[in-house]
Amino acid sequence: MAVEQKIRELQHFINGSLVPGTSGRFSNVYNPCTGEVIARVPLATREEVRHAIEVAKNAFPKWKAMSGGKRSEIVQRFRQLIAENQEELIEIICEESGKTKEDARGEIQRGLESVDLAINAPHMVKGEYSVNVGGDINAFSRKDPLGVVAAISPFNFPVMVPLAQTSMAVAVGNAVILKPSEKVPISALYISNLWKEAGLPDGVWTVINGDKEAVNELLENDTVQAIHFVGSTPIAEYIYHTGTKYNKRVAALGGGKNFMIVMPDADLEKAANAFIGAAYGAASQRCMALSGVIPVGKETADKLVAILKEKIEKLKVGPYTDDNVDFGPVISKESKETILGYLERSLKEGAKLVTDGRNPEILKTLNGFYLGPTLLDEVTPDMEIFKYEVFGPVRIVVRADSLQEAIDIINSHELGNGVTIFTNNGAAARKFQDEIEVGMVGVNVPIPIPVGYHNFAGWKRSNFGTGVMFGPDQANFYTKRKTISEKWLDVDTESKVTFAFPSNDNTK
């Protein structure tokens, strides 16, 4: 007789404690590997969000007044706790997102890069100082925290993205509210406990679970000074325009349609291996996943597609409990249906099926949200599957006759997150770097994600606003500059009224 799994009742994290939701509205949290409900997460009302904001507002002054060195000690302890509890966190990530243990481990390591950078926040918010700019006046600047700031994170990286969005915000002295995806809230609540254990004062860190109602309160509430969002392009655009309408600082990072150009001189075996890992890893649920490959020349295309077909057909899809699988399920039943819709319509538009992942073997034994790796050849820029980001393991081949045509195809797309070229020709690589209109560029690097101390941001409709994820610009995003001109008056010196605009010549 099967034992029924107990469904966990999740909560919010407010003022240093777990707090039950009061809305009466809940969303199911699934294990994508089995299709089973593992938890219910409360969806906050506007009133609950306002309360959380007020708590953060009250906690902010004391946290702002703490020395930068002391704040860094707490961030460093938080980093240590993540490392010490890594294995438990991996299990949580895998259970609620479906990704493999290897992928979850890599996610945590990349997230720690953001924490490492935040430990150095005192150095990154140092001001400028000039002695005697004129008339015995000293001028200096300082960077102050904004106050209450909010981050809205996606489902595909339950740990890395929240850490990248919030670590610097906390370290420079803000009170931070995280609204995680309601599909993966367990990781965020676990991180909350680590912040508590690290010594972060109550109220400085908040997790509020919810849907659009909670998001709209964060966007419209006057106390919230900045919003950092990562997710799909349509929602990123909504977040940006709504947040700026309410005079907030907004960083809204959207989706990507990322291509790999393969030149005739490239090592096709190495290019194929790179493409497969970057295209199908995490069931293709990465904004920097390779969406397609653009081989240059018919001979290159024919050879590369043949190599890809042989390799892709050997990939194994299954649950994270199987250490031999290459990737797991997509996040939900709805996501799977959306991906299949793109696939079916592309075939009607004339794309050719190279590998078919619609019915993977694992579905015979598990009811999870599985799709096998699919590859479509002879896709053209007028097809729907070229135009839109497909967040699942259906990848495309777009053929080009020249490097210039390949560059033009990519530049014609409205998204500009990531791109790469595989070649041994330095001139081709230089032309590609110069002419491509994409924010993150790789040369023989399949996923050109910057390390934690470099800025991450796409171009065009992949990024709204000037904010970034990762990198030193985060310190600027979460602080505001104050410039001070200071003069100490000599009581024995005569003074007189002057109406001239201050300058080096007349400031005495």
Q: Quote the CA–CA distance of 290 and 312 in Å, as a whole number.
A: 14
Provide DSSP, 407-422. HHHHHTSSEESEEEEE
Q: Which residues contact 135 (CB under 8 A, 6 or more apart)?
A: 487, 502, 504, 506, 507, 508
Judge residue 348's burial from the number of C-beta atoms within 10 Å of its C-beta, 0-12 exposed, 13-18 middle, 19 or more buried. Answer: exposed
Q: Which residues contact 266 (CB under 8 A, 6 or more apart)?
A: 300, 422, 423, 424
Q: Which candidate in 10, 191, 271, 287 is catalytic?
A: 287
Torsion, CA 383, CA 384, CA 388, CA 393, rounded to 10: -90
Read off the tokens for 482.
């104050």
Give yes or no for a contact between 370 and 363, defined as CB atoms under 8 angstroms apart: yes
Q: Quote the CA–CA distance of 330 and 371 in Å, as a whole number.
A: 7
Q: Quote the CA–CA distance of 507 and 496 in Å, as a whole number.
A: 11
Place of tokens 């190279």: 354
Read off the tokens for 388.
């839109």
Read off the tokens for 362.
């694992």
Place of tokens 């809205």: 152
* 33 part of the active site: no
Supply the residues annotated as catalytic: 287
